[in-house]
Every structure is written in C-alpha cells, then in structure tokens.
Amino acid sequence: MRFALMIEPQQGLSYAEQLAIVQRAESVGFDSFFRSDHYQSFPGPEGETTTDAWAVLAGLARETSTIGLGTLVSPVTFRPVGVLAKTVTTVDEMSGGRVEFGLGAGWNEPEHRQLGLPFPPIGERADLMEEQFAALHGLWGEPDGWSFEGAHVRIEGALFHPKPVARAGRPTFANGAVRPRLLTGGEGTPRSMRIAARYCDEFNLSSTSPDKAAAKFAALDAACEAIGRDPATMGRSVMAGVLIGQDAAELATRKSALLKAFGNDAGGDDWFEAREPRWVLGTPDQARAMVERFAAAGAERVMLQNFLPRDLEMIDLMAEALF
C-alpha cells in the first residue's frame, strides 16, 4: 500500500504552514502529497486565508526533493487547458518530474461566483473535463502542429515546449513522449469511470467505505474492458478522512480539535460515528485495520485526507502506525 497526505489548505493555511506540513510528510516517508484546489475557505469559518494550488506547488517543488506533488483535484472551470498544461509542466520541471494530479468537473458554485469564474451545468462541466483530458494528452504527446476541435476547447497548430520531464516510470505515449500521471475520481459515476478508462492512470474514490469500494472498482474494471484496456493498467486509490490518536485520550483530544476547526459544520459523537465506515479513524490498530480493508477491496493507495494539518505530530503518528 502506498500513502499520500492530502490536505485542504483553504482552511486558512499560509504557504509557510503548507511547507512545514509537506516537509514533515516527506521526512517520515509519505509517497506523495496532494492538496485541494479551492479559493473559498471551508470547512469552518468563511473568509479565511486561501492560496492558489499551483503557485503553492511551485514553491514546494523547490523546497522538497523526493515526495510526489499534485492536486486532488483541479476544477476544469478554474484554468483554460492551455494555461493548466503550461503551469503543470512548469511545476513538473521545477520538481524534477514529481508532479501527478487530478482533474475534476468542479462543484463549489459560491467560489466561482465570488471570483467571476464560469460555472455551467454539470453536464457541460463534464464535457469540458473530457475535452481538457484529451487536450492534455495532445499537448504533451502529439507532435508540433497538433490541432483539436471540441465543443469547448479549440487548439490550432500547437507548439508546446518543453514537454513534461522524461522520468523513468511515467506514462509513455506510443511516440516515446512522457507525461505526468493523471487522476480523476469522485464517488464513481459511470461517466467518470468511462473518462478515466480513456484518459487516466488512476481512479480515486472519495467518501466510499471499503464495502462499497470493491463494487466500484469492479465497475471501473468493466469500463476499461469496454474500450479494450487492460484493467490492470488502471491505478486504484481511495481518499479517506483520517484522525488517529496513540490512545483513547489522545484520540478524544483530536476529535475535539477537529470539531472546533469545523465549527458549526460538525456535531459530536454522532458525527464521527457516521464517518467510521469510511474514515481511517481511531487508534493505530483501528487505523491499520481500516487500511487493510481498503486494500482487500482493491485500493493500491490511500490519500489520507487530514483536516488537522497543523498537527504535525499526527503526521508522525500516521507514518508510525501505517507504513
């Protein structure tokens, strides 16, 4: 099992705080780091500090050396695909080829309105996501002069240089060009799986229990087989909320801290009980047992979604308990 640390920096985190978190995660052996890509603060109080995901990742690329870096996920509504491709490739070069990232249709309408960003209906956003994936493949993998004509994306005679870093183990096109690993995901709708089967290297399930994950991954296999793709070439991961304490007392302290951070968004014991079926929650033994259940369901990587990111000691405990 591989482990990624995933945080929600729109909870008011500065760049310096994110740097401290990632450097701690790298030092204890996390495989990768993912951050959300949001401009409005939540959960918890509104109006907290928020940062641009890719600007932050550029800084982290220069202040880390081994940990993978990416977003989970970047909404297609935030950046035109040409800008996204250039930004990702720039951060990829800055990191020595450590970038992988997720692309999604976007969902938080208020943050779009607040910044003047378009927010069309979900069907149109899903169409745009599919076209952006196609465009990323083309810009990174096709020769000079490549063009693309979609309903939402139009590219004429592309000249895209430099290409992503040619690092061993990365996805490779038939012509030998390489690119970062691409992810998509969510709760596993049929369309998201069809898009993943065609364009992605990993499907990430969110808000899903191990019991339900097995069926979702079976549907993903079927989506791959439907287009003649070997399901074994598709990575499978889950994003699971995480809260671990060395013992019952430490766990209770962290539960209180999480409820405080969430403010009116969270309740008491009932709130945690509702999440027990799908979170890595509890003492180290309980956390390991949940990870083993996700592994049995077919997950190869767990993105540990940490809502107490400033608690660096919990990052240490995650590594101690799970790696």
Q: What is the pLDDT of residue 298?
A: 98
Q: What is the pLDDT of residue 44?
A: 86
Q: What is the pLDDT of residue 263?
A: 84
Cβ atoms within 10 A of the Cβ of 272, count?
19
User: DSSP assignment of 200-219, as one string?
Assistant: -SEEEEES--HHHHHHHHHH
- Bond preceding residue 80 cis, omega within 30 of 0: no
Phi-psi category of residue 282: left, alpha or beta, with phi > 0 → left and psi -120 to 50 → alpha: left
What are the extents of the domains in the chain?
2-322
Q: What are the structure tokens assigned to 2, written together?
A: 């591989």
Q: What are the structure tokens assigned to 131, written together?
A: 């076209």
- The whole-angstrom separation of Cα 52 and Cα 176 is 32
Q: What are the structure tokens assigned to 26, written together?
A: 């790298």
Superfamily of domain 2-322 in CATH is Luciferase-like domain (3.20.20.30)
- The whole-angstrom separation of Cα 287 and Cα 38 is 28
Q: Are strands 146-149 and 154-158 parallel, antiparallel or unpaired?
A: antiparallel
Count of all residues that appear for the chain in the document: 323
- The whole-angstrom separation of Cα 73 and Cα 38 is 9
* Least confident among 89-93, 115-119, 129-133, 266-270: 266-270
Q: What is the pLDDT of residue 268?
A: 77
Q: What are the structure tokens assigned to 204, written together?
A: 């990430």
Mean pLDDT of the chain: 96
Model pTM above 0.85: yes
HSE-CB for 148 with a 13 A CA cutoff: 25
Residue linked to tokens 């940490």: 306
- The secondary structure of residue 304, as a DSSP letter, is E
pLDDT tens-place string over residues 287-321: 999 999 999 999 999 999 999 999 999 999 999 99
Cβ atoms within 10 A of the Cβ of 187, count?
11
